[in-house]
Amino acid sequence: MNKRLLPLLVALGCTAAQSQAQSPQLETVVDALKTPWAVAFLPGGLLLVTEREGQMRTAQPGGKPSAPIQGVPAVDAVGQGGLLDVITDSDFARNRTLYFCYAEPGENKTNGTALARAKLSADNKRLTDVKVIFSQQPKMESRLHFGCRIAETPDGKLFLSLGDRYKGMDKAQTLDSHVGKIVRVGKDGSVPADNPYVKTAGALPEIWSYGHRNSQGLTLDAQGKLWQHEHGPQGGDELNLIAPKFNYGWPVITYGENYGGGRIGEGLAAKTGMEQPVVKWVPSIAPAGLVRLKSAKYGPAWQNSFFIGSLKFGHVERVKLDADNRPAEQEKLFPDAGRVRDVREGPDGLLYLVLEGHGRVVRVKPTTP
């Protein structure tokens, strides 16, 4: 296609019609879940699912969810909080290790996002060696904006997204808290010596980037680049390419406005020293779950595309960038999916969606050529 024509077609929504020729279908792999939040993958095709109220379960595709796995710590299942993300260690088959994050209860009705490491017993029925390796500071009395997505790096570290707790938005711009940040820690919770703020007086050493609002999407692509999306306020959801030490602007710059109208702060959308999003959504889609598809199972158009769940409209957004990281293709898939909380690429190269409202994990069937 003519490269100059493509942005126009995107603007007119024509690329959506073009790719609908593929019409991929969803198939349910697990149902009867209660408010599922994340899905991870165990050997032998087994799925590992979190439910926000505090349960972790396994299930074979097509089978029923297991009884709750024992040993999950107490979570603060209030508002948007609870048991949230889970991933398996890249060497899980050997070390049985997984990482999960959740709303950790504190004193006097406070809570905050915590990251824990555990081993899953050989019979998949209980967690052992559970250790909290990171706790967001300070804890706050809030039911909102926990962030809480985890990504493992090839060199054995963990990224974790941390929300602004709604009432702590101004802390997103200061380095003396974990509010509105992405942090990087070792798998034992240690601080990597090359984290960007380890030598900055007054800064918390786990901080990787700052100026974030509420991020429920975090992923490393095939090139090792870290991508994140975050909820804007009313309008202004963002997809960001994350680099260490950078300031992503919240709440000083935003493309959104306050709920019910009215500017935020000085009403700025850009400022020197603050990063611009790669993609922005006005109105908001309420993004949750993020993957940049590595596999070729769905053909070249989808490979290397981002897939992003929408809580608000109940679809999956596909975004493909050009060589300069500008959106070249953008379309809405599965418009009747209902609230999409997580999007993952399985070890089989297939896309898996967590449908919160339907209590299901579904798989996107590749179209047969």
| Nearer to Ca ion among residue 212 and residue 363 (C-beta) | 212
Judged by CB under 5 A, the chain residues 10 through 69 that form the site for Ca ion are: none
CA 290, distance to chain mean position in Å, is 5
Count of residues of this chain found to bind Ca ion when the rule CB under 5 A is applied: 2
User: What is the Cα–Cα distance from 47 to 347, expressed in whole angstroms?
Assistant: 11
Q: CB of residue 321 vs Ca ion: minimum separation in angstroms?
A: 17
SS3 17: helix
| Nearer to Ca ion among residue 217 and residue 338 (C-beta) | 217
Task: Give 230's contacts (C-beta < 8 A, 6+ positions apart).
Answer: 161, 212, 213, 214, 215, 216, 217, 237, 238, 240, 248, 250, 287
Query: Among candidates 89, 99, 8, which has minimal Cα distance to 50?
Result: 99
Asked if residues 368 and 28 have their Cβ atoms less than 8 Å apart, the reply is: no
Judged by CB under 5 A, the chain residues 239 through 298 that form the site for Ca ion are: 248-249
Structure tokens belonging to residue 295: 């596999």
Q: CB of residue 287 vs Ca ion: minimum separation in angstroms?
A: 13
Query: Peptide bond preceding 65: is omega within 30 degrees of 0, i.e. cis?
Result: no
Q: Is 227 among the residues that bind Ca ion (CB under 5 A)?
A: no
Query: Among candidates 40, 80, 79, 45, which has minimal Cα distance to 56?
Result: 40
Residues serving a catalytic function are: 145
Q: CB of residue 212 vs Ca ion: minimum separation in angstroms?
A: 7
Q: What's the chain's length in residues?
A: 369
CA 244, distance to chain mean position in Å, is 18
| Nearer to Ca ion among residue 61 and residue 196 (C-beta) | 196
Q: CB of residue 238 vs Ca ion: minimum separation in angstroms?
A: 5
Q: CB of residue 98 vs Ca ion: minimum separation in angstroms?
A: 31
Residue 236 to residues 88, 217, 275, 321, Cα–Cα distance (Å):
32, 15, 14, 19
Structure tokens belonging to residue 198: 């380890």
Q: Which residues of 286-323 are buried (b: 16+ CB within 10 A; e: fewer)?
A: bbbbbbbbebebbeebbbbbbbbbbbbbbbbbbbbbee
| Nearer to Ca ion among residue 208 and residue 352 (C-beta) | 208
Query: Among candidates 74, 135, 140, which has minimal Cα distance to 107?
Result: 140
SS3 94: helix
Q: CB of residue 274 vs Ca ion: minimum separation in angstroms?
A: 7
Asked if residues 49 and 42 have their Cβ atoms less than 8 Å apart, the reply is: no
Q: CB of residue 249 vs Ca ion: minimum separation in angstroms?
A: 4
| Nearer to Ca ion among residue 253 and residue 288 (C-beta) | 253
| Nearer to Ca ion among residue 248 and residue 298 (C-beta) | 248
| Nearer to Ca ion among residue 112 and residue 236 (C-beta) | 236
Q: How many CB atoms lie within 10 A of CB 106?
A: 18
Q: CB of residue 87 vs Ca ion: minimum separation in angstroms?
A: 25
Phi, psi values for residue 102, rounded to 5°? -165, 170
| Nearer to Ca ion among residue 133 and residue 268 (C-beta) | 268
**Which residues are near Ca ion by CB under 5 A?**
248-249
